[in-house]
Amino acid sequence: MLNRQGRPSAPQAHGVSDPAAGMGDQAARLQGDANRATGSNPEAHPTFTGNKALAQIEPLLFEIGRYDTTGVDLDEPEDFEPRLGGLERKEAIGLPGLSEPETMRHYVRLSQQNYGIDTGLFPLGSCTMKHNARLNERMARLPGFSDVHPLQPVSTVQGALELMNELGRYLVTLTNMTAVALSPKAGAHGELCGMMAIKAAIEAKGEGKTRNVVLVPDSAHGTNPATAALIGFKVKPVPAREDGWVHVEDVKERLGPDVAAIMLTNPNTCGLFEPQVVEIAKAIHDAGAYFYCDGANFNAIVGKAKPGDLGVDAMHINLHKTFSTPHGGGGPGSGPVVLSERLAPFAPVPFVRMKDGSFELVEQNDEAGGTAAPFGRMTAFHGQMGMYVRALSYMLSHGSDGMKQASEDAVLNANYIRAGLADLMSLPFGNKPCMHEVLFDDAWLKDTGVTTLDVAKAMIDEGYHPMTMYFPLVVHGAMLIEPTESESKTSLDLFVAMLRDLAMAAKNGEKERFTGAPYHAPRRRLDETRAARSPVLKWSPPAPVAEAAE
Partner 1 sequence: MTTRYTKDHEYIRVEGDAGIVGISDYAQGQLGDVVFVELPSVGKTLSKGDEAAVVESVKAASEVYAPVSGEVVEVNSELEASPGTVNEDPAGRGWFMKIRLTNESELDGLMTEEQYGEFVKSIS
Residue ranges in contact with partner 1 by CB under 8 A: 470, 473, 528-529, 532-533
In whole angstroms, how close is the CB of 460 to partner 1 at the nearest point? 17
Name the burial class of residue 260, with classes exposed (0-12), middle (13-18) and buried (19+) by CB atoms within 10 angstroms of its CB.
buried
Give whichever of 533 and 538 is closer to partner 1, judged by the CB atom.
Answer: 533
213 CB contacts (<8 Å, ≥6 apart)?
233, 234, 235, 236, 256, 258, 259, 260
d(CA 74, CA 97): 13
In whole angstroms, how close is the CB of 428 to partner 1 at the nearest point? 14
In whole angstroms, how close is the CB of 528 to partner 1 at the nearest point? 5
In whole angstroms, how close is the CB of 224 to partner 1 at the nearest point? 15
Give whichever of 446 and 489 is closer to partner 1, judged by the CB atom.
Answer: 446
Give whichever of 432 and 530 is closer to partner 1, judged by the CB atom.
Answer: 530
Helix (H, G, I), strand (E, B) or coil at 338: strand
CB 221 within 8 A of CB 240: no
Give whichever of 234 and 432 is closer to partner 1, judged by the CB atom.
Answer: 234
Closest listed residue to residue 239, CA positions, set 257, 224, 220, 256: 220
Q: What is the CA radius of gyration of the chain?
A: 27
Neighbours of 292 (CB within 10 A): 31
CB 472 within 8 A of CB 480: yes
Give whichever of 78 and 528 is closer to partner 1, judged by the CB atom.
Answer: 528
d(CA 5, CA 417): 23
Name the burial class of residue 451, with classes exposed (0-12), middle (13-18) and buried (19+) by CB atoms within 10 angstroms of its CB.
middle
548 CB contacts (<8 Å, ≥6 apart)?
542
Give whichever of 381 and 470 is closer to partner 1, judged by the CB atom.
Answer: 470
**Length of the chain counted residue by residue:** 550
Helix (H, G, I), strand (E, B) or coil at 106: helix
Give whichever of 79 and 528 is closer to partner 1, judged by the CB atom.
Answer: 528
Give whichever of 155 and 529 is closer to partner 1, judged by the CB atom.
Answer: 529
In whole angstroms, how close is the CB of 212 to partner 1 at the nearest point? 16
